[in-house]
A = this chain, B = another copy of it.
Amino acid sequence: MTSTTPVDKKSPRRGVISDGPVRVGYLRDFDLVGLNNAAVDDEQATKNRLLVAAVKLFADRGYEASSMRELAAEVGVKAPAIYNHFDSKTQVLSTAVDYALSDFLANVLTGLEEFPKQEQLFELLRRHARYKTNDVALARAQDKLVDADFMRRVLPPASYDRYTAALAGYRAIVRDLVIAAAPEAQSDEAVNLPVLVSALIEMVDRVSSWFRPDGSLTGDEIADQCVVIARRIVEP
């Protein structure tokens, strides 16, 4: 995205999560700071490039082994200039995590309430799988970085709390949508609801670990097939 790209308010990638029924109660307090990062000027465009480069650098070389100087070099800015955007490496990381989560949630949740209630789960899972195939290198870097133990150790407490609250909110949304699609899942003695929810989320989330952009199936086809599998799991 360049500085001249107009901000498309209808785009799910840079949109605003509606306050419709899907979000209410879980993520209303998650202010999706990342979505304010649409590159409206050069300054913001540079910041966005720094955040994407940071995720890849930290995942590739390790957070501890990476320096602000290296990050600046990755993006082609002078080392001191990076401090116009971020005070510290910790702030780069926490902003990058916020940005990645916001982008993901906006992508997966925006406009979901326009689908029939019992279809929302499957649409969400389709979007989640597709999201993980859009930019596989970035998705894998995020997967590697977004490790709960690492996050707890490195992020400032307030930032870590935001991160865990967002993940818990997402899980809660998936759980509610499972119940909307298959109310009997609540009292299924063979599979506890949290196990079912985890299985569904991991199936689509891990597509990034095995998807090959040059393979025989497109990201959309794989997402559709994940939905077929999800229906078998949820509507046995």
- Of the candidates B144, B147, B191, B209, the one whose C-beta lies within 8 Å of that of A140 is B147
* Residue-wise interface mask of A (218-231) relative to B, using a CB-CB cutoff of 8 A (1 in contact, 0 not): 00001001101100
**A59-90 with Cβ < 8 A to chain B:** 60-65
Known: A140-B147, A225-B190, A229-B233. A206 touches B195 (CB 8 A): no
- Of the candidates B64, B190, B210, the one whose C-beta lies within 8 Å of that of A65 is B64
- Of the candidates B62, B226, B232, the one whose C-beta lies within 8 Å of that of A62 is B62
Residue of B nearest to A231 (CB): B236
- Check A114 for interface membership: any CB of B closer than 8 A: no
Interface residues on A, range: 35 or more
Residue of B nearest to A209 (CB): B202
- Check A192 for interface membership: any CB of B closer than 8 A: yes
Chain B nearest CB, measured from A18 CB (Å): 28
Known: A144-B144, A147-B140, A202-B206. A196 touches B229 (CB 8 A): yes
- Check A179 for interface membership: any CB of B closer than 8 A: no
The residue among A149, A195, A226 with the most chain B CB atoms within 10 A of its own CB is: A195
Q: List 8 A-B contacts (CB under 8 A).
A: A62-B65, A140-B147, A192-B217, A199-B203, A199-B226, A202-B206, A202-B210, A203-B203
